[in-house]
Amino acid sequence: MRMLKFIILMFFSLNLMANQPLHDEVKELPKLIKAKAYVDVAEGKLISPANILVNNGLIMSINSKNLPKEVEVIDLPNKVLLPGLMDMHTHLDLDFDGTWDHILTKENASKGAIRAVRNAELTLMAGFTTVRNIGQGHITQELVNVAVAEANNEGWIKAPSIFPAGHMISIEGGHADLSMGYSEGLIEVGPNHGIVNGVDDVIKAVRYQIKHGAKVIKIHATAGVLSLEESVGAQQLSDAEMKAAVEEAHRHHVKVAAHAHGTKGIIAAVKAGVDSIEHGSLIDKKAIRLMKSSGTYLVPTTGLVEYMQPLLEKMNPKMREKSEYILPIAQKRLRQAIESGVKIAMGSDSPLIPHGKNAAEIVALVKRGMTNKQALQASTINSAELLGVDDRGQIKIGLLADIIAVNGNPLQTIEVVQNVDFVMKAGAVIKHEE
């Protein structure tokens, strides 16, 4: 972990020295953002005008007549402000071009950390100020996504706030067993890599991730699509293993996300007490009722459909077969879940939606039956609730000044969230295009 953070620091420091002049530190003035309007995502209303005073990283006032004598004015005429968007399902250290092999076999953790830094900045520039990095794709005991999150917390890089999961927890030969397809003994993995056989291994794996900085635990309740198992939806972790993972994580006040496509695995994961179901492709009425009664979130990752179609020819035949089977069904089942009122948080599953294009998921949620208001809430206040944080997700006095600007009213035209001109994170201007 220390080596990964050192590499990230050196990468950032070289850029800093090349681009930042030496000068005495000047105390920052409060910032006044002046825009056409802002979206109250809780109420689903556009409020005009938008004069947002920001200081010390927080929103201090909204449309107040009592302003400090000295302020830095940020003029965003004709722009509409939104709270920073949130993506609850990213894999920052991965990219996908139809295969993972170039990363799994040829890339070490150090390069993976630099890849994640690049992708984190792309994500931030797209208006996403908070993400869950829901499991890394590098076969190493070092937790790449935790190292990147810590580097970000220490101000070394440009990135969203990252809630990292460390290694995904899966059965041997399961969806997260990254040694699948290689010769026996070539790559040995175990609980420290998230690969488990039995309850004791599960507890060890959860404790290892939390010990080394994971802020969320990701388990694999079922098989998956872009891996080499025969099934896409069969339950993998046992009921007892899932219950052990949840109990151990919750004892440490850490939430649990469950990758689950098949109905049996979804139901087992919800009964085990997970906080969110990722994908939920084969969700049925029974699972929907259970999720509603338990308050379990669905993170459907539906926008990737359009991006995966051109890549089908490049995929392993098994992955392609599973993709062609599951994707059409998942869209229909999501419509049913939306109509039923299951709580939904936005997750892009980037890089399946490429990093920096995460907002395509918000547009896709509307195509699947959400109102624009609901899709924006999924990407802001719902995601904040899923994370268990109350300091972000709205443009509201006292919350973090995570603010973005778009050209148009997303309550009328949701597509405007795909072109973000201005990004402020915790009061710092990250992007400002005229």
Q: Is residue 17 part of a domain?
A: no
Instruction: Say which residue, 13 or 251, is predicted with more confidence.
Output: 251
pLDDT tens-digit series, residues 305-359: 999 999 999 999 999 999 999 999 999 999 999 999 999 999 999 999 999 999 9
Q: State the DSSP string of 132-176.
A: EE----S-SSS-HHHHHHHHHHTTSS---EEEE--SPBEETTSTT
Q: How many domains does the chain have?
A: 2
Query: Which residue, 174, 164, 171, 175, is CA-closest to 142?
Result: 164
Do 53 and 142 sit in the same domain of this protein?
Answer: no
Instruction: Say which residue, 229 or 235, is predicted with more confidence.
Output: 235
Do 339 and 350 sit in the same domain of this protein?
Answer: yes
Q: Is residue 10 part of a domain?
A: no
Do 381 and 400 sit in the same domain of this protein?
Answer: no
Do 292 and 422 sit in the same domain of this protein?
Answer: no
Mean pLDDT in the chain?
92
**Site of tokens 């006292």:** 398
Q: In what order do the strands lie in the sheet with 255-260?
A: 216-220, 255-260, 276-279, 297-299
pLDDT tens-digit series, residues 42-83: 999 999 999 999 999 999 999 999 999 999 999 999 999 999
Output the domain CATH number for residue 64.
Answer: 2.30.40.10
Do 92 and 79 sit in the same domain of this protein?
Answer: no
Q: Is residue 8 part of a domain?
A: no
What pTM did the predictor assign?
0.93
Q: Is residue 309 part of a domain?
A: yes
Q: Determine the straight-line distance between the first and last CA of the chain, rounded to whole angstroms.
A: 40
Do 340 and 420 sit in the same domain of this protein?
Answer: no
Q: Is residue 142 part of a domain?
A: yes
CB 228 within 8 A of CB 248: no
Q: Which two tokens stand for residue 212?
A: 């080394």
Q: Is 87 helix (H, G, I), strand (E, B) or coil?
A: strand
pLDDT of amino acid 44: 98
pLDDT of amino acid 100: 84
pLDDT band at 21 (very low <50, low <70, confident <90, very high): very low
Distance CA 246, CA 266 (A): 14
CB 260 within 8 A of CB 278: yes
pLDDT of amino acid 181: 59
Main-chain phi, psi angles of 172, to 5 degrees = -60, 130
Do 125 and 255 sit in the same domain of this protein?
Answer: yes
Main-chain phi, psi angles of 141, to 5 degrees = -70, -25
- What is the signed CA dihedral for 229, 231, 234, 238, rounded to 10 degrees? -20
Q: Is residue 21 part of a domain?
A: no
pLDDT of amino acid 186: 53
Distance CA 409, CA 230 (A): 45
Q: Is residue 18 part of a domain?
A: no
Q: What is the mean pLDDT of residues 78-90?
A: 98
Q: What is the mean pLDDT of residues 4-15?
A: 58
pLDDT tens-digit series, residues 193-215: 999 999 999 999 999 999 999 99
Structural domain of 419: 31-84+394-432
Do 333 and 401 sit in the same domain of this protein?
Answer: no
pLDDT of amino acid 23: 45
Do 96 and 205 sit in the same domain of this protein?
Answer: yes
Do 206 and 321 sit in the same domain of this protein?
Answer: yes
With a pLDDT cut of 70, the percent of the chain lying above it is 92
Q: Is residue 22 part of a domain?
A: no
Do 190 and 44 sit in the same domain of this protein?
Answer: no
Do 77 and 102 sit in the same domain of this protein?
Answer: no
